[in-house]
Amino acid sequence: MKPTRHLTPVALLLGALCMALSATSGATEIAKQKPNISGTWERTPDDWFGEDPDDPVLPGGPMPLKEPYASQYSELKKKQAEANEAGTPLATTSARCLPEGMPTLMAALFPIQIIYDDNNVIVLGEYLQQVRRIILNEPLPPLDELDPVYQGHSRGRWQSDTLVVETRAIRTDVTFYDVPHSEGVKITERIRLTAPDHLQNRVTIEDPQILTKPYEFTFEYKRSDYRIEEYVCENNQIVIDSEGKATLKTD
């Protein structure tokens, strides 16, 4: 029996209808596609870091610190200045080759790469090969069920063209521009394309124990054709003494 014998006008009509529905469905899928945030991203404008690497520009201006944190921060800056003058700067976690953590990873001192599917958004930082996993479409577990980690625990959801991400449980030895945070810190990011090759991340840090009000700032990124490379901190030449001061090995 040849199949063509069953191609009645009704069947042809049904076929055409199916094709039309299929086309409509395809268009719907396209409409559902998320903005293409995949790719390698570098901060912009190029002078975002400021002129002095030892005195970087805070992205949202001075942080509104409560006491005693404001005084402790001022004291730290004074100690840093004295240590810098002496040529023995206070060692940071980076000087120990430890991850930057959140939200510094997203500051993208080195390029970052974003990869995503329906369930995850992965951020790869070239510097120290950091990995951040944002799990989509499920709530964050209660804070006391989360172990503190460098990049925190992140959950995200798409709201129209914007990826909204909440991050909690960041290790308290992670600092942001030398400012500490409490165990209860919450970071909210609103990530969206403002142009095909321009990504914007509006960040809010809420930490009522440390901050008088939420600290808000925006990271802007430009799309890059750079391919992120391996970065293993295998030859750390910094020696840190008992006071936390750093010197360079010369042998």
Partner 1 sequence: MTLMSFPPLFRQRRWLLAALVICALPGVVSAHHSFAIFDQTKTVTIKGVVSRFAWTNPHVAIYVDAPGPPEQQFKIETGSVNALKRTGWKANVIKAGDEAEVTFKPLKNGEPGGLLVEIKIGDTVLTGGG
- How far is Cα 61 from Cα 74, in angstroms, rounded to an integer? 15
Least Å distance between CB 194 and partner 1? 24
175 touching partner 1, by CB under 8 A: no
Q: Which is nearer to partner 1, 212 or 236 (CB)?
A: 236
Owner of token pair 């870091």? 49
218 touching partner 1, by CB under 8 A: no
Query: Contact at 8 Å (CB) between 194 and 37?
Result: no
Stretch that binds partner 1, among 61-69, 136-144, 173-181, 230-238 (CB under 8 A): 230-238
Stretch that binds partner 1, among 14-22, 66-74, 196-204, 240-248 (CB under 8 A): 240-248
Site size toward partner 1 (CB under 8 A) is 37
Partners of 166 in beta bridges: 155, 188
25 touching partner 1, by CB under 8 A: no
Query: Contact at 8 Å (CB) between 123 and 114?
Result: yes
Q: What is residue 128's three-state secondary structure?
A: helix
Show contacts with partner 1 in window 52-71 (CB under 8 A): 53-54, 56
What tokens appear for 75 in the block? 């004291």
44 touching partner 1, by CB under 8 A: no
Q: Which is nearer to partner 1, 87 or 208 (CB)?
A: 87
What tokens appear for 167 in the block? 């991050």
118 touching partner 1, by CB under 8 A: no
Least Å distance between CB 126 and partner 1? 6
Single out the residue of 127, 150, 158, 221 in contact with partner 1 (rule: CB under 8 A): 127
Q: How would DSSP label each residue in 138-195?
A: SPPPPGGGS--BTT-EEEEEEETTEEEEEEE-B-TT--BTTB---TT-EEEEEEEEEE
H/E run at residue 132:
strand 130-136
Least Å distance between CB 38 and partner 1? 21
In degrees to the nearest 10, what's the CA dihedral of 178, 181, 186, 190?
-10
241 touching partner 1, by CB under 8 A: no
Least Å distance between CB 196 and partner 1? 23
Show contacts with partner 1 in window 74-103 (CB under 8 A): 83-92, 94-95, 97
Q: Which is nearer to partner 1, 33 or 250 (CB)?
A: 250
- How far is Cα 209 from Cα 70, in angstroms, rounded to an integer? 12
- How far is Cα 100 from Cα 175, in angstroms, rounded to an integer? 8
110 touching partner 1, by CB under 8 A: yes
Footprint on this chain of partner 1 (rule: CB under 8 A): 49, 53-54, 56, 83-92, 94-95, 97, 109-110, 126-127, 226, 229, 231-238, 246-251
